Structure 1
Amino acid sequence: MKKFLLYLLALCLLTTCLVPGSGRIVQAQAEFPLPDGEIMPSSDVDVEIQTLADVESFNCSDVTDVSVSECEALVAFYLSTNGAGWSYNTNWLESSTVGTWFGVTVEERHVTILSLYSKNLTGTIPEEIGQLPYLELLELAGNQLTGPIPESLGNLTYLVEACLTNNLITGPIPDTLGGMSSLLKLSFNDNLIEGEIPASLGNISTLTKFSLGNNRLTGTIPDSLGQLINVDRLEVYKNNLSGELPESLGNLTLLKEFIIFENSFSGSIPISYTNLTSVTAFYFFNTQLCEPTTPEFLAWKALVGAGWHGNDQICMDFHHYLPIIYR
């Protein structure tokens, strides 16, 4: 009965409504057409009601190209992110062929791509996203998603790229993400993510891009990130990270871009970083890091060349200035 009443309410608001006490029927605001097939619902309330009506009227038992479980995951995603308000939602919860839904790719009866870049998604990413076990690309950047990163994301062992950049995501990074054993690109830049960088992320040895810049992360860079031997870009800029840099990052011999500026890092840049002979960009300005003056380190700095953007702070060897009797 509750579902039936909600459906009737949705129909009322989306078509015609009786104004209480007046006996007058008025036409409710419809969705406004925009260029190139985009739609813009008239209000947030209308969006929520239309989204719920879409979900209530769709049955995953009718789909023909994916399992009921994967279909239900997409329906949960549509509901949680207010699908009726997306700027593009062609065929979503209309067609029984999931592979025709905008932004969804199906291969061999499994969802492999969910790509909705900058499509006005709001709300949260549901835990049901973990019911897409063959997903290879999750592209949700440039939206207005809020709430935490779902722990179930760590179940996606075939995921190659997880891009949540430029949203309003909050909360910590789940430890479970260390289970994404096929991941090449982790891009969570430009959000409101809090807490520490989980040591478990060091288990994703396949990573080539590691991007957590412009968030609210605290704590230190874990030693375990030295296990990311395939990474060529590491970004943790504009956070609240502190402490000394781990020597283990000297193992990242394929690293080309090391971007850590605007944090509270302190101490000396480890001599082990002279192993990073592929680095062409090292940005560590607006930190409290200092540079050693050993010939080995100076040679590495010269190798990086124009890509070196630091503090111009030299590490002082106070031992050198002590009287011999105190050395």
Structure 2
Amino acid sequence: MKYYAILFCLQLAIGANSFTSIKAQVDVNDSLALVDFYNSTNGPGWTNKTNWLTKEPVSTWYGITVNGTRVTAVNLENNGVRNTIPSSVYDLTKLELLNLSSNGLLGSILPAIGNLTNLRHLYLYENGLTGSIPSTIGNLVLLTDISIEHNFLSGTIPSTIGNLSSLHQLTLFSNQLSGTIPSSIGDLSNLNYLDLSTNQLSGAIPVSIGNLVQLGYIGLNENQIESIPSTIANLVNLQGLNLGTNHLSGTIPSFIGGLTNLGYLNLSYNQFTGTIPPFIGNLSKLGSLFLNHNQLSGSISSAIANLVHLGLLDLGYNQLSGNIPSFIGDAINPYYLDVSNNLLTGSVPNSFRKLHSLNYLDISHNLLAQNNNFHPLLPNPYFIQINVSYNHSTFNGLEFIAKNFPFAIYAPQANISIHQHGNTLSVYAGSGLTHNTYKWFKTGEQDGTTIQGDSTFMPVQSGKYYVKVTNAIATQLTLYSDTIDFMVNESLITGNRMINISNNKAGLQVFPNPANHMVHVQTNGNAIIELTNTAGKMILSKTINNKADINLSHFANGTYYLQNKTTGETQKIVVIH
């Protein structure tokens, strides 16, 4: 203590009566401890050091609170405090608040912290502290808040933590703590906030956690936790449960369905299997549900329709199948929806037109077809992030997305199929033909044949062919076709060009062509005619005598094939409304 007295006098250097004045105000040991703290932690470089080491009363020193003659609070958050925490701090035995957070402190927390038996609030977060949490922390039985997150603490959580029965908040996240969570944590009967996330904790959550009936939030995400005890069902006041990014497996446990006050549930980045359980519908207060990055299968459960307050739903990166249900939009109206990287099929439901709150949508990496139901979404599409890429969509619907959602991602899409009718190849790429450009290639050749506004192509040589289709509106996307092995029918080739079959002896005549609402057909005598689309599906079949009219008003724009089944003649018809 003689050393500190000498140091104190040297540092003040403000007159013969200074030490006497300060001693009269504050306990000398507390004063000496503060001087040592200042000198040890870069005091001259602090952001705010008002009145420190002056003749002004200690109670006026920045960040210091004095009650009577004793220092009861050191509050120097984000103040440029550097180096290690000196042992002199632990001599401030009447401290009730120690806040050194958001500084540049290094080194370990000394066992002498156990001397601060009057401490109620301990804040050391956002520093560079290392080493373990000393077991003597269990001496601080009056503590109500511990926040030592965002450091580099290692080792296990000491079992003496269970002594802190007055504790309301325990946050140790973003450290390097390991081992299991001590069962003594179940003795913290007044705890209402627990965050141990982003550490290296392993094993099972202790059964004793079920004793903490005051808990409102549990954060254990980003650890190596392997199992959840059924006693967690006792935590009926729980409003937030984050178990994401652990080693949990099996089906989602049914007792979670009893936590009916949950507003936030995160089970993402685990290894859960099975279906989305129906009891998820019991959690009617849920505002956020994360089940992404698991191995869940089956359909998107209709139980989710009960979650009428749901604003965020993430089901991405699973193995979910079937259609996107219409209750999304009809029953729930999320602002964030991610069902990407699944096996979903069909089309986007009409109910998506009701998603007026949506600002993030990811349905990419599925097997979805057309996406025509995005029209209302939001008054200002500039605030919407949409990803519909890696599906089976064509330019139908994507033209609207490209025009109305500037930041949408809609490319690439799955390959489209090539269909062959006689010596004619065709593809369906969606949209009006006038917006599409088709470039046909024979494999092994760099030069292709470009056709504007017509999806058909008549090769004159046998070989493997494919096509690239671009669109004047959805410019981000190029649709690629599969490759087809094409063999020329020599009976339909004269010289080096194709013969128009319908003009051969005036057998099958079709006009006008392209057609709008009506097409006239003429044959030589009685004939059975069939109309098929580019996929080979028969649209119409009828018997005619020399001539007939076909009403096309209800047909979609595109290419069709009319065949005289009696003679085998075929004619292409292009429909443009």
TM-score calculated relative to the size of structure 1: 0.75
2 CA distance for matches of 1:62 and 1:119? 27
Flag the 1:150–1:294 CA change in 2: closer, same or farther, 3 A: closer
* 1:215 paired to 2:195: no
- The answer for the alignment partner of 1:121 in structure 2 is 81
Aligned partner of 2:137: which letter?
Answer: L
C-alpha displacement at 1:166, in angstroms? 0.6
SS in 2 for 1:192: coil
* 1:271 paired to 2:230: yes
Q: 1:275-306 deviations in whole A, cap 9, x for unaligned?
A: 001111110110012476665x04325x1444
Matched-pair contact (CA < 8 Å) for 2:195–2:219: yes
Aligned partner of 1:167: which letter?
Answer: N
Pairing 1:13-162 to 2, within 5 Å after superposition: 55=11, 57=13, 62-63=21-22, 64-162=24-122
2 CA distance for matches of 1:140 and 1:261? 26
* 1:310 paired to 2:267: yes
C-alpha displacement at 1:229, in angstroms? 0.6
2 CA distance for matches of 1:291 and 1:232? 29
Aligned partner of 1:300: which letter?
Answer: G
Flag the 1:211–1:293 CA change in 2: closer, same or farther, 3 A: closer
* 1:169 paired to 2:129: yes
Flag the 1:193–1:54 CA change in 2: closer, same or farther, 3 A: farther
Aligned partner of 2:69: which letter?
Answer: R
1 CA distance for matches of 2:253 and 2:243? 19
Flag the 1:168–1:54 CA change in 2: closer, same or farther, 3 A: farther
Which 10-residue stretch deviates more, 305-314 or 162-171?
Answer: 305-314
Matched-pair contact (CA < 8 Å) for 2:106–2:130: yes
- The answer for the alignment partner of 2:244 in structure 1 is 285
Matched-pair contact (CA < 8 Å) for 1:95–1:101: no
Q: Which residue, 230, 249, 259 being the options, matches 2:209?
A: 249
TM-score calculated relative to the size of structure 2: 0.44
SS in 2 for 1:92: coil
- The answer for the alignment partner of 2:258 in structure 1 is 300
C-alpha displacement at 1:314, in angstroms? 4.2
Flag the 1:71–1:300 CA change in 2: closer, same or farther, 3 A: same
C-alpha displacement at 1:55, in angstroms? 3.2
2 CA distance for matches of 1:116 and 1:228? 28
1 CA distance for matches of 2:119 and 2:250? 39
SS in 2 for 1:282: strand
- The answer for the alignment partner of 1:321 in structure 2 is none
Matched-pair contact (CA < 8 Å) for 1:261–1:286: yes
C-alpha displacement at 1:150, in angstroms? 2.2
Task: Decide which structure has the larger Cα Rg and report it.
Answer: 2
- The answer for the alignment partner of 2:526 in structure 1 is none
1 CA distance for matches of 2:185 and 2:176? 19
Flag the 1:196–1:90 CA change in 2: closer, same or farther, 3 A: same
1 CA distance for matches of 2:256 and 2:145? 32
Q: 1:153-191 deviations in whole A, cap 9, x for unaligned?
A: 211111110000111111111111110011000000101
How many residue pairs get aligned? The number is 264
CA RMSD, Structure 1 to Structure 2 (Å): 2.3
- Stretches of structure 2 that go unaligned for 5 or more consecutive residues are 275-577
SS in 2 for 1:237: coil
- Stretches of structure 1 that go unaligned for 5 or more consecutive residues are 4-50, 317-327
Flag the 1:55–1:240 CA change in 2: closer, same or farther, 3 A: farther
1 CA distance for matches of 2:118 and 2:9? 33
SS in 2 for 1:105: strand
2 CA distance for matches of 1:118 and 1:166? 9
Pairing 1:178-257 to 2, within 5 Å after superposition: 178-257=138-217
Aligned partner of 1:55: which letter?
Answer: Q
Matched-pair contact (CA < 8 Å) for 2:97–2:121: yes
1 CA distance for matches of 2:148 and 2:233? 28
2 CA distance for matches of 1:200 and 1:291? 33
- The answer for the alignment partner of 2:329 in structure 1 is none
SS in 1 for 2:218: strand
SS in 2 for 1:241: strand
Taking CA–CA contacts closer than 8 Å with sequence separation of 6 or more, which of the two structures ends up with the larger relative contact order?
A: 1
2 CA distance for matches of 1:122 and 1:293? 46
Q: Which has the higher strand share?
A: 2
SS in 2 for 1:153: helix
2 CA distance for matches of 1:237 and 1:299? 23
1 CA distance for matches of 2:52 and 2:162? 37
SS in 2 for 1:288: coil
SS in 1 for 2:149: coil
2 CA distance for matches of 1:60 and 1:149? 30
2 CA distance for matches of 1:135 and 1:286? 38
Matched-pair contact (CA < 8 Å) for 1:91–1:101: yes
SS in 2 for 1:138: strand
